[in-house]
Amino acid sequence: MANIVLASASPRRQELLHRIGIEEFDIRVPEADESYPADLKPAQIVEHISRKKAEAAAALCTPDEIVITADTMVFLDDQRLGKPVDEADALRMLTDLQGRHHTVCTGVTVRQGDRVLTESETTEVYFRPANEAELLAYIATGEPMDKAGSYGVQGKGALLVEKLHGDFFNVMGLPVLRLSRMLAQFGVHLL
């Protein structure tokens, strides 16, 4: 099997690769421009950025290595929610999300040499109504501060999620079923 490179510093993505049986992979994090045209829809945005990351990562890899890149974004009413700049920003985002549903989109690119495959996954997440004291207690854990949308579904942020439709792992940052099907097209079979 060809060497696999995860072009991401995300500990969650690293954990998910291990969970699906990819025990050995290199981590190489490229510098990539994450800008995108203003007229793109959410799924197109994450695909666009994922491809740009793969292009940047190609310079750090040999043509026979299989490179995985991903970009995850949270959207509320098609408006992007990034990582909070401070606790007040986290409270604003979490307040906007409570009692409503939002979308988490991840673009994934698998690249080997000149062969590039990009797809995206979309998951609808429904937050339960929460009061300000609960949101402030969650923010006090520090968990929201490095996460798009100000929450981590794999941690205490799960206490805010009432339900979701779609791939749970996509909300963590890597849709593993979609990735496994993409890798199969490159000769990497996980089952």
Segment 147-180, tens digit of pLDDT: 999 999 999 999 999 999 999 999 999 999 999 9
Give the tokens for residue 63: 């043509």
Number of other CB atoms surrounding residue 176 within 10 Å: 21
Is pLDDT at 18 greater than 80 in this prediction? Answer: yes
Task: Cite the active site residues.
Answer: 71
Task: Give φ, ψ of 47 to 5 degrees.
Answer: -65, -45
Q: How confident is the model at residue 83 (pLDDT cuts 50, 70, 90)?
A: very high
Longest alpha-carbon distance in the chain: 52
Res 10: pLDDT = 92
Select 4-184's CATH number: 3.30.465.10, 3.90.950.10, 3.40.50.10190, 3.90.650.10.
3.90.950.10
Could you tell me the residue ranges of all domains in the chain? 4-184
N-to-C CA span, the chain: 14
Segment 90-123, tens digit of pLDDT: 999 999 999 999 999 999 999 999 999 999 999 9
Res 1: pLDDT = 66
Residue 65 half-sphere exposure toward CB, CA atoms < 13 A: 20
The average pLDDT across 77-81 equals 92
pTM over 0.85: yes
